[in-house]
């Protein structure tokens, strides 16, 4: 068993080195690593259904179909022009406005859904204003992860924690909501310090931007009015379903009494339903839509899930987590260890299996201390840790993948330099606020 564990770690480190090196595409690296652990038998074939999070895969797939279908109508160009005009040609205002929108929407929708909807708009604005899109895209990634941590439904680890610990939606808003508001303000300040100077424009350049934007007619950006209207209707319907997906049975039961009121829909089901509706209603060519899907991102996630599954299968993640928490002597000390371990580990491995491994350990600590504060430490670290690296969260991979399709390169190392700074600052501030709530 020790040899198998060492091989699992070696494959993970080798794959991670290939991803950092970037000479081999990260999707190919992840698939190669997954092939090794499956071939050797570390992850049995029947266990793939356990470790590959098909909920994430199909959520991504469904939303990519919806976004790529709607894109042909000019919807995103229309919204982008309206937003840029609202910012009155100021690059900093555009960055702040989109960051706030991203954070708020991510609190109530899946992070991936949010960035899939907003990234095309950001790219269009940057192109029209002749600006470097990287500061906007990086800020969007960070904002989505911070906003997603604020609510029970914003990030999968929060859903898992709430289900296991019996924590309510309102409790998340009370304890993590204020923390994320403060972290968001600090994030915007950090982005201004890092990117503000490079985004400054002279009065003449700003006037030129305003003239350029005023010369754009957002209504003229709508190239297909019928597709535009249908896209808005389907996206609105999908967003509504995301809000009520776990209570859809109760709603349908009033109309159709034979429907089980306890029935709910998974977010992936909502996305696939929306994809089917928009393809059927708009009669768009599925071949053309499917060609635009970010297939490398989907295969990257699939491979990474299998590689991390090998670490779970061999007990490595659980053993590391156990060592981290088994000797804690107080609640405050446990909060510190859980938050930082979850944050740093989530920057390296997917936060879903990590959270799954940490939950039973926290329950075990209930015999010696009050574990209620530890749930918030785990949620804080697991959600914000995704900001640390380019592969730390699903939203990161999706945004970087879309950027690559447009010829915009965000390297692993460049992201790491800013991402780790954001991780340490936001987690430290959040942990300090939790400390004031539960320890002081």
Summarised one tens digit per residue, pLDDT across range 392-435 is: 887 898 899 889 888 998 999 999 999 999 999 999 999 999 99
Residue with tokens 């709430």: 162
- Cα 140–388–91 angle (5° rounding)? 25
Lowest mean pLDDT across 46-50, 414-418, 435-439: 46-50
- The stretch 203-214 carries a mean pLDDT of 76
- 53: its two tokens: 């999070």
Residue 320: pLDDT over 80: no
Predicted pLDDT of residue 324: 66
φ, ψ for residue 400 (rounded to 5)? -65, -35
> 216 vs 129, 197, 374, CA distance in Å?
11, 27, 52
User: What's the rounded Cα separation, in Å, for the pair 125 and 131?
Assistant: 8
Q: How many CB atoms lie within 10 A of CB 256?
A: 9
Residue with tokens 């029935």: 263
Residue with the larger pLDDT of the pair 376 and 101: 376
Residue with the larger pLDDT of the pair 299 and 50: 299
Residue with the larger pLDDT of the pair 166 and 385: 385
Lowest mean pLDDT across 34-48, 133-147, 259-273, 416-430: 259-273
pTM above 0.95, yes or no: no
Residue with the larger pLDDT of the pair 56 and 258: 258
Task: Determine the length of the chain.
Answer: 440
């Amino acid at each position: 068993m020790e040899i198998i564990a060492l091989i699992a770690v070696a494959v993970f480190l080798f794959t991670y080195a290939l991803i950092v090196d970037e000479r081999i595409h990260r999707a190919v690296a992840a698939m190669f690593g997954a092939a090794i652990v499956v071939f050797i038998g570390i992850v049995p074939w029947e266990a793939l259904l356990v470790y590959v999070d098909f909920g994430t895969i199909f959520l991504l797939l469904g939303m990519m179909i919806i976004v790529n279908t709607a894109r042909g109508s000019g919807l995103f160009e229309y919204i982008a022009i309206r937003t840029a005009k609202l910012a009155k040609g100021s690059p900093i205002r555009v960055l702040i406005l989109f960051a706030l929108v991203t954070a708020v929407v991510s609190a109530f929708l899946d992070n991936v859904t949010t960035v899939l909807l907003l990234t095309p708009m950001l790219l269009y604005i940057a192109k029209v204003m002749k600006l470097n899109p990287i500061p906007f895209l990086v800020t969007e990634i960070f904002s989505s992860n911070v906003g997603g941590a604020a609510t029970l439904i914003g990030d999968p680890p929060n859903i898992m924690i709430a289900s296991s610990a019996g924590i309510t939606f309102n409790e998340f808003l009370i304890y993590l909501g204020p923390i994320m508001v403060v972290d968001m303000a600090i994030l915007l300040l950090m982005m201004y310090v890092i990117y503000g100077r490079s985004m400054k424009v002279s009065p003449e350049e700003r006037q030129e931007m305003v003239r350029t934007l005023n010369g754009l007619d957002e209504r003229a950006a709508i190239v297909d009015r019928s597709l535009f209207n249908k896209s808005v209707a389907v996206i609105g319907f999908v967003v509504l379903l995301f809000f009520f997906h776990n209570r859809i049975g109760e709603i349908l039961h009033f109309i159709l009494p034979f429907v089980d009121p306890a029935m709910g829909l998974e977010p992936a089901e909502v996305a696939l339903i929306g994809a089917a509706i928009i393809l059927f209603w708009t009669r768009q060519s599925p071949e053309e839509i499917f060609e635009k899907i970010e297939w490398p991102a989907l295969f990257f996630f699939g491979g990474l899930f299998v590689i991390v599954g090998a670490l779970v299968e061999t007990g490595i993640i659980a053993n590391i987590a156990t060592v981290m928490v088994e000797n804690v002597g107080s609640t405050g000390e446990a909060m510190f260890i859980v938050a930082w371990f979850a944050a740093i580990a989530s920057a390296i491995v997917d936060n879903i299996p990590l959270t799954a491994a940490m939950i039973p350990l926290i329950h075990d600590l209930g015999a010696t201390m009050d574990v209620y504060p530890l749930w918030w430490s785990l949620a804080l670290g697991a959600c914000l840790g995704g900001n640390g690296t380019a592969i730390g969260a699903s939203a990161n991979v999706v945004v970087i993948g879309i950027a690559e399709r447009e010829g915009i390169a965000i390297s692993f190392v460049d992201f790491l330099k800013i991402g780790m700074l954001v991780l340490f600052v936001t987690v430290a501030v959040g942990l300090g606020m939790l400390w004031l709530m539960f320890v002081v």
